[in-house]
Amino acid sequence: MIVRYRTQRDEIWRWYWMYWRASLWRTWLFYGAAAFCLTLLASYNGGLRPQMFLTAMCAPILLWTFLAIFPQVMFKSKERTFEIGPNGIDSEIGGNRAHRDWREIASITDKNGVIAIVVARTRNAFLVPDRAFESAKQRDEFLQQAMTFHAGAHATTSAPLRYSRHRR
């Protein structure tokens, strides 16, 4: 099944915020603590001074700011062509083409009007909004096919499948 659409910045932001609240905050906390400790260690020269702590506290803040802004900077507003089939996902954005095998997909979620197909290795997600579909029937068919293809690819592995479906 093929769908064509343009992603909007607010969709990216809402999904990223939802993902952050669900689990990403733990990663941010870990990286922030690491940035604090590494900055403190790098500035240590035999004694601890208040300036060192102030500098070390700025490191996680700068890191967190970068992590929050990065998805918006990397946002692509061009039309996307997104096709799912038994062999995986084919996508094209502004002439850039990519293929993902279903075994590379960690999870498929259906929340707040967006179907998110998350890549296991990078945790990047394909976000397919409701407006990409001509009808609710086409959307449901797309979601069912994606879940079926994903389950089929993982049938011989022991990796747990994750699907979630939530509506507002």
C-alpha 92/C-alpha 96 separation (Å) is: 5
Q: What is the pLDDT of residue 168?
A: 44
Q: What is the pLDDT of residue 157?
A: 57
Q: What CATH architecture applies to the domain 80-165?
A: Roll (2.30)
Answer yes or no: are the C-beta atoms of 100 and 88 closer than 8 Å.
yes
Walk along the chain (168 residues) and give the pLDDT tens digit of each residue: 888 888 887 887 877 787 777 777 888 899 899 999 898 888 877 777 778 888 888 899 998 888 888 877 777 778 889 999 999 999 998 888 999 999 999 999 998 889 999 998 887 888 999 999 999 999 999 999 999 999 988 776 555 555 555 544
For 100, the token pair is 């993902």
Q: What is the pLDDT of residue 164?
A: 57
User: CA-CA distances (angstroms) from residue 113 to 26, 78, 135, 136, 158?
Assistant: 25, 20, 13, 11, 30
For 47, the token pair is 């004694």
C-alpha 55/C-alpha 60 separation (Å) is: 10
Domain range annotation of the chain: 8-73, 80-165
70: amino acid identity, one letter: F
Q: What is the pLDDT of residue 69?
A: 83
Element (H, E) at 96: strand 96-100
Q: What is the pLDDT of residue 5?
A: 83
